[in-house]
Amino acid sequence: MRFPHHARIFRGQIDAAPFMGVLMLLLIFLLLHSSWVFIPGVPIRLPEAVGLPGPDTPTVVVAVDQNGLFYHNNQVCDAERLKDRLKQAVNEAGSAPTLILQADKAVRYEVLVQLALLARSVGVKEALLATRPPVVATVESAKP
């Protein structure tokens, strides 16, 4: 096989724009598929339960983490600030709202009682504990 003698090896500068474009696309894909995404909220491990009814009245949600800190609207509240916020929620609702307690599994019972008494003092009549459905449905819960 004979090669033409007029073909020359490229000896100029390589254009960097296509390489930079590919590099930027790879960087974007790696950043989007990484676990650096911040998930807002309070990390709480709710207990599992099946078939519980929800509330009929307006609700106010208070979260309690494993350290016993109270959160309302994803902001840490001490007992006095939480009492003021609950009082404001009762005034805005018109009637007594239902308090939804999103308590971590590790929260002590004393903390839940303290929170329930605090809510009762501002006019909340009912408090419910939030749960999550089981990850894997059991055969018993699937039967009608």
**Domain CATH code at residue 105:** 3.30.420.270
Calculate the dihedral angle through the C-alpha atoms of 12, 18, 24, 26, rounding to the nearest 10 degrees.
Answer: -110
- The answer to whether 139 and 50 are in contact (CB under 8 A) is no
Give residue 124's identity as a one-letter amino acid code.
V
**Over its length of 144 residues, how does the chain's per-residue pLDDT go in tens digits?**
676 777 677 777 778 888 999 999 999 888 777 666 566 677 777 778 887 777 778 888 899 988 888 998 888 989 899 999 989 888 888 777 888 888 888 889 899 899 989 999 988 888 888 888 887 755 555 555
Alpha-helical regions (H) of 1-144: 17-32, 79-93, 109-121, 139-142
Tell me how many domains the chain contains: 1
Q: How far is Cα 47 from Cα 134, in angstroms, rounded to an integer?
A: 9
Q: Give the residue numbers spanning the domain of 121.
A: 42-144
Confirm whether 22 is domain-assigned: no
Strand-by-strand arrangement of the 126-129 sheet: 75-77, 70-72, 59-64, 98-103, 126-129
Confirm whether 120 is domain-assigned: yes
Confirm whether 134 is domain-assigned: yes
